[in-house]
Structure 1
């Protein structure tokens, strides 16, 4: 049975004070400050969060929701995949974050909820590199092909290439590193806004990849058996690259994305994706506008064995 056939748990953090994060806006071109009050933005984001969780659970996808605390203030806590990742060998990895207020997301309550339910056999703490201004923001900075042991990453201020290779060495991945820019020529801040790697296919903004790296990226995807669905800059801006393939309790796979991302796709693109697995989409407009991230960023996949399996 492949990794993608095995059920997973999704860790999701219900925000306590979601909002536009000034500390991340400089390197995240996807963020746009809302004209609404902080309270209105937060309340709308919570409704979007709850609706997505409910939709996932309706499809028998296991979701572990941890309520964030109001203090310390962590406006981006809704995006846990940036600071922690979980792996089949029982490893939990903590990552160094670019924004100082995002470092506060590594809260005891979240880690305790994970350790209470899952057998964490090894902790790899890369967050100490924050002291040297070296950053690697988890499965935002890189996109994993867990079956083929590949880690795709575009270079950015938030993705230190040496740290990526250190991660790959410890977790047995091969790094596929490339340059990628948006329509304005700005470095794309996170790889997971421009590409998604699933079991048999990959969604990627090929035209964003630097000319000198493009052929190698395409060849690696094809060699690993992926059908490539190319999206445009406009579709990337609508978060069509920020998708995640998930597996429910019955071993059935789904592709999760926002409604904005889904609406940006052409009918033939939807048909291609649905030939592999059903699509789940939910409105995340407030989260996307103010947070600069979307559905994939909201879900941290937990592949670690649950303690209940050892009772």
Structure 2
């Protein structure tokens, strides 16, 4: 059976994916599927650098603002929704275009990942929560790494809820949630990645955080905090957990901003490591600006898919 074409644009945070994706989507007649695990949440716009309706410039976008911040969003749900969308977009005669930086999500769609339904185990979760409280989040994360190294690489140690769930699946299932059934891609995929000289990227990340602060990140996070949205997957995201620590009086606002910048830089490094080790990416260096590479990326996608 002929595989359906799929365009993908990946890369670390703040590298310039969003702006370039709009130009490519217009040129290639695409609909965009967000490949970001946090932009699914309503009311979390500034901290996730969510594309605005104006920035979308009429290009259809999917899997943005589909969840309440209290709800969980799993890799499996992303896989299911994205694959349905890919079929629907093709039925409209358009090219599906996944854009994002959550490597595990992209991998789950492109390849034949299967998931085992493991029921929640309250006793196990309480035991793991107690372990984390006693020995720390890093120790809990190391426990996961021993059980399922790949899962541990995609989850931040401070996202205790996700670490415990991954441990739960690894402990009570013969199949981990990110075990590929096949290394053969499900789609005829053109996977482009944007990269940048590290110091330039880190400078862009720091600048983006400053812009977020000016645009009202503190107020946005405070609204979620005042709604008593705690211990949820959404507010474990970078940008929100640092503000929550500030609201809890654990750190000053200045320290929260420093931590936010530092965590964002570390996240970008992890993203690049993931993409380079786990996925067959054609890289484009956009240190001198993404506009300089627009035609090259377009030609790469066209050459692969058309």
Structure richer in helix, relative to its length: 2
Structure richer in strand, relative to its length: 1
TM-score, with structure 1 as normaliser: 0.27
TM-score, with structure 2 as normaliser: 0.27
Larger Rg: 2
